[in-house]
Amino acid sequence: MTKTVGVKRLIQEARLPHRANETDAGLDVYAAEDKWIEAGSYETIRTGIAIELPPSTEAQIRPRSGLAHKFGITVLNSPGTIDEGYRGEIKIMLINHGKEAFQVEVGMRIAQMVIAPVLLSPIKEIQELTETPRGEGGFGSSGLRDDV
């Protein structure tokens, strides 16, 4: 099984995803078009690339903390899911939570992509669930006080 991610450039402006450091989890993903994002709005941005993932993996599209910290820019549907079998162009939905309009430019690093393993578990209906110490407790049930 190859672990290589094949990347096809769909337009000339496109840049291949790139790891800033060899062991970074996230590959920087680049914009392939110029676009303004008004404050409080979102835009779908072209990357100009399509990819071929290794079997039983996905690519997660996550925000870059630098853009969030400096400009309030994040990924609307974070983490975006790129399915193994998807062969279309990867597009990134950025939302501007900042106070100023934000200009996306060709070649800007707008998000990061993490390749992750996926369990393609079959699904079946069952009548009884196994018992566990947690049972149906959730939503803060393990806390000592009501508010945490």
Ligand X SMILES: O=c1ccn([C@H]2C[C@H](O)[C@@H](COP(=O)(O)OP(=O)(O)OP(=O)(O)O)O2)c(=O)[nH]1
Does residue 77 touch ligand X according to CB under 6 A? yes
Give residue for tokens 């309030």. 72
Binding ligand X by CB under 6 A: which of 17, 26, 63, 80? 80
| 3-class DSSP state of 115 | strand
> Between 23 and 121, whose beta carbon lies closer to ligand X?
121
Among 73, 82, 104, 115, binds ligand X (CB under 6 A): 82
Query: Which tokens sit at 97?
Result: 């939570």
**In the numeric block, which tokens belong to residue 147?**
């508010």
The stretch among 8-16, 20-28, 63-71, 76-84 that binds ligand X (CB under 6 A) is 76-84
61 binds ligand X (CB under 6 A): yes
> Is residue 86 close enough to count as binding ligand X by CB under 6 A?
yes
Region near ligand X per CB under 6 A, out of 2-10, 29-37, 82-90, 133-141: 82-90
- Is residue 31 close enough to count as binding ligand X by CB under 6 A? no
Does 92 appear as a known binding residue? no
* Nearest-5° Cα angle at 73, 89 to 24: 65
Q: Assess contact for 34 and 11: CB atoms under 8 A.
A: no
- Work out the number of other CB atoms within 10 angstroms of the CB of residue 106: 16
